[in-house]
């Protein structure tokens, strides 16, 4: 039967362990956000697809918290050690950060759920065997849902547009679905929750969605076989029909066209400058981006601490009224002490001489092995008591492993 008294300490451990990692990721996200925005403006302002691919670099951010360079690179250590020390020491701050993640998740995904519930109650119509939800709200078309995407059109458009115009609008939303933009939006919202201390992830969400819209417009124009002028006329008609604005619309989701007319005008400018592109080149760029992200993820994994890291450290302490560390020089102690999964083996003469030199009296403890999660953060070690007086050259000391404890097994898995 589990000892439920451990639950409080387990929750505190999770708060410290995950906050230490996530705060590092958040700090890095500030730099990356600035870098991406700079590239968008300076180098890729006229390159729609490359602007969109830039955002994929944020996929790396959640995996950077356990990089070894935070502990082993002197330059990085000098910059980040205060942050690491704070997250490892201030449990109240860790609790606040974790609470912030839950609050952000409730706010962001609560809007998604409310919108999906609203869509479920909308009138359904069929257009060319495609089921469309029709709303009385004065909004631009948008799509909700990941596994079962649902396209939503305002009733004023459904009644005013011709069949070909409606096909253009629906093709635009289907392109968002086909290109995976709804999943990209989900990933961005998850980042906003985890890294809620970085307000730029919310501020730059407008640019993120704008780049997705521009990509979708370009793909739709080229795949339709029509001209950019014809496509733009459809958007202009939308602008005219929905001139009363979009007040009362949930800001959750999705790629609901562009809810601000200033953005619609920006899109018109992009459409007016449309030039046919080579599909193979774009597919190649996307494949190259996927490959680069995969390689970088592999590099991050290779140079990060594992979920559970084996410790080979050995320490000797004594208890003579007060606990005291005798030595934690693993290299020296390993010449006298070894162990397996059942016994500790001590070279008696060398170890007794070592204890005399250290003036170690009282109860002698040998602490060894075990595991750790991150250097200086959580873990456990085996221990046994050394009793002098043995005549054997090698003293064999049995011990019971703490790794059989359910709590330790759970810590290792987290």
Which residue ranges make up each domain of the chain? Answer: 6-302, 309-413
Residue with tokens 């007319």: 261
Q: What is the pLDDT of residue 246?
A: 42
Tokens of 64: 């950077």
Q: What is the pLDDT of residue 242?
A: 64
Q: What is the pLDDT of residue 78?
A: 84
Residue with tokens 């809810």: 259
| 8 Å CB contact between 144 and 152 | yes
- Rounded to 10 deg, the angle between the 228-241 and 261-272 helix axes is 170
| 8 Å CB contact between 125 and 158 | yes
Q: What is the pLDDT of residue 288?
A: 92
Q: What is the pLDDT of residue 255?
A: 39
Q: Apex CA 280: angle with CA 276 and CA 283, to 5°?
A: 105
250: enclosing H helix or E strand = none
Q: Which of 176, 55, 190 is nearest to 112 (CA)?
A: 190
| CA–CA distance, 133 with 121 (Å, rounded to integer) | 9
- Based on DSSP, count helices (H) and strands (E) in the chain, helices before strands: 16, 12
Q: Apex CA 410: angle with CA 407 and CA 414, to 5°?
A: 140
| CA–CA distance, 362 with 395 (Å, rounded to integer) | 18
- What are the 10-residue block averages of pLDDT along the chain, 414 residues in total? 65 88 93 93 86 93 92 84 85 92 94 88 83 82 88 82 84 91 94 95 92 90 83 78 50 41 74 83 90 94 90 86 83 89 89 87 86 83 84 87 78 80
Q: What is the pTM of this model?
A: 0.84
Tokens of 152: 């939503």
- Rounded to 10 deg, the angle between the 181-194 and 6-42 helix axes is 120
Q: Which of 217, 235, 229 is nearest to 172 (CA)?
A: 217
Q: What is the pLDDT of residue 4?
A: 56
- Positive or negative: CA dihedral 189, 207, 122, 165: negative
Tokens of 177: 């679905």
Q: What is the pLDDT of residue 120?
A: 85
Tokens of 386: 């050394």
| CA–CA distance, 191 with 19 (Å, rounded to integer) | 14
Tokens of 153: 């059109």
Q: What is the pLDDT of residue 261?
A: 63
User: Strand locations in 97-251, DSSP E?
Assistant: 123-127, 130-135, 142-144, 150-154
User: Strand locations in 122-263, DSSP E?
Assistant: 123-127, 130-135, 142-144, 150-154
| CA–CA distance, 216 with 27 (Å, rounded to integer) | 32
- Positive or negative: CA dihedral 315, 81, 66, 189: positive
Where on the phi/psi map is residue 137: left (φ > 0), alpha (ψ -120 to 50), or beta? beta
């Amino acid at each position: 039967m589990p000892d439920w008294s451990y639950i409080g300490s387990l929750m505190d451990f999770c708060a410290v362990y995950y906050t230490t990692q996530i705060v590092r990721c958040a700090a890095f996200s500030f730099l990356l956000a600035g870098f991406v925005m700079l590239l968008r403006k300076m180098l890729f302002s006229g390159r729609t697809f490359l602007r969109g691919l830039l955002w994929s670099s944020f996929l790396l951010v959640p995996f950077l918290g356990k990089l070894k360079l935070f502990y082993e690179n002197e330059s990085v250590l000098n910059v980040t050690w205060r942050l690491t020390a704070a997250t490892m020491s201030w449990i109240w701050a860790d609790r606040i950060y974790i609470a912030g993640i839950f609050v952000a998740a409730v706010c962001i995904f609560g809007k998604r759920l409310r919108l999906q519930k609203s869509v479920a109650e909308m009138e359904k119509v069929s257009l060319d065997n495609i089921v469309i939800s029709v709303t009385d709200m004065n909004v631009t078309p948008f799509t909700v849902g990941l596994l079962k995407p649902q396209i939503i059109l305002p009733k004023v458009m459904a009644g005013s547009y011709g069949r070909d115009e409606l096909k253009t609008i629906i093709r635009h939303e289907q392109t968002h679905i086909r290109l995976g933009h709804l999943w990209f939006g989900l990933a961005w919202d998850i980042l906003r929750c985890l890294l809620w201390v970085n307000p730029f992830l919310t501020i730059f969400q407008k640019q993120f969605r704008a780049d997705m819209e521009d990509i979708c417009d370009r793909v739709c124009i080229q795949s339709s076989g029509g001209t950019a002028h014809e496509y733009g006329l459809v958007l202009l008609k939308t602008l005219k029909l929905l001139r009363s604005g979009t007040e009362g619309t949930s800001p959750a989701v999705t790629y609901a066209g562009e809810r601000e007319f200033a953005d619609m005008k920006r899109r018109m400018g992009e459409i007016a400058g449309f030039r046919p592109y080579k599909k193979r080149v774009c597919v190649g760029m996307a494949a190259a981006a996927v490959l680069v992200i995969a390689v970088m993820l592999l590099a991050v994994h290779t140079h990060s601490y594992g979920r559970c890291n084996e410790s080979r450290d050995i320490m000797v302490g004594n208890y003579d009224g007060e606990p005291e560390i005798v030595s934690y020089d693993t290299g020296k102690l390993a010449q006298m002490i070894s162990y397996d999964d059942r016994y500790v083996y001590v070279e008696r003469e060398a170890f007794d001489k070592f204890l005399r030199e250290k003036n170690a009296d009282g109860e002698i403890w040998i602490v060894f092995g075990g595991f750790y999660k991150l250097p200086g953060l959580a873990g456990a070690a085996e221990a046994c008591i050394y009793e002098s007086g043995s005549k054997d050259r090698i003293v064999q000391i049995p011990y019971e492993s703490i790794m059989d404890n359910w709590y330790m097994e759970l810590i290792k898995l987290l």
